[in-house]
Amino acid sequence: MDASGKKIAVVTGAGSGIGRSVALALAGAGWSVAAAGRRTEPLQETAEAAEAAGPGADVLCVRADVSDPDDVAALFAAVRERYGRLDLLFNNAGTFGPGAVPLEDLPYEAWRSVVDVNLTGAFLCAQAAFRQMKEQDPQGGRIINNGSISAHVPRPHSIAYTATKHAVTGLTKSLSLDGRPYRIACGQIDIGNAATEMTERMQQGILQPNGQLAVEPVMDAADVARTVVHMAQLPLEANVQFATVMATAMPYIGRG
């Protein structure tokens, strides 16, 4: 907690979608939130929405590209300078890449871009948060990684996204193990078809494993945010290691 008694969270990718929903939910639950993202204007919109929803909301906007080590270092330095400690990282920033491109046609640059954001970015932020949580007094904190249904099963033509989300699961497990001596808990939320800009195509028809196009149901991103807040508010002696939150009728069970 900071001097005001609020717990401190960093949310990456907080300018839109799930990141914005989680930032708003945490602010509404009384957390101070450092909202990070690549573009300043959407972050300011997140902060304004938090302030409109509840007077006294504390949202610090920090422009940061999670794939850039210098940006990540500056992000966590800004949080340390403003609040003095860190209680939660929601490692959310991610990209799907260039649509449904067949594996044999995927450019190297597109592969590298997805890996840089989804995996390297998640590692850099987790490493910085881990250092802060290990060094601070009282010691400890929590990291929640945004996985995906694709951390379990792929969609057609999604090799870069799927590979990185499988890797995030390994990142989560290693963080959980390495964090034990320092009261650093790490869990993962695997999300299926939350209604965001990234999932707009679900409602227009998306390629299925049988080669057909189908409209898929979606859920409100606020339902994801409530789950993250629940995970975040547990005492450090308890941890949701893995949670799956998905649109009830989406074609996940039995996919493929």
Residues 54-104 pLDDT 10s? 888 999 999 999 999 999 999 999 999 999 999 999 999 999 888 778 889
Instruction: Give the integer Cα–Cα distance in Å for 49 and 244.
Output: 27
Nearest by Cα to 163 from 146, 151, 180: 151
Phi, psi of 185 (to 5 degrees): -95, 145
Spell out, as residue ranges, where the chain has pLDDT lower than 70. Answer: 1-4, 198-203, 254-256
- What 8-state DSSP symbol labels residue 153? S
Both structure tokens of 96 = 């799907």
Does residue 191 sit in helix, strand or coil?
Answer: strand
Q: Is 111 left (phi over 0), alpha (psi -120 to 50) or beta?
A: alpha
Give the model confidence (pLDDT) of 217-236 as tens digits: 889 999 999 999 999 999 99
- Are the beta carbons of 42 and 197 closer than 8 angstroms? no
- Mean model confidence pLDDT for the chain: 92
pTM of the model: 0.93
Instruction: Give the integer Cα–Cα distance in Å for 39 and 72.
Output: 14
> Which domains are seen in the chain, by residue range?
8-246 (3.40.50.720)
Both structure tokens of 189 = 């939320």
Instruction: Give the integer Cα–Cα distance in Å for 31 and 241.
Output: 22
Give the residue numbers marked as catalytic: 161
**For residue 98, how many other CB atoms are within 10 A of its CB?**
16
Burial class (CB in 10 A: 0-12, 13-18, 19+), 169: middle
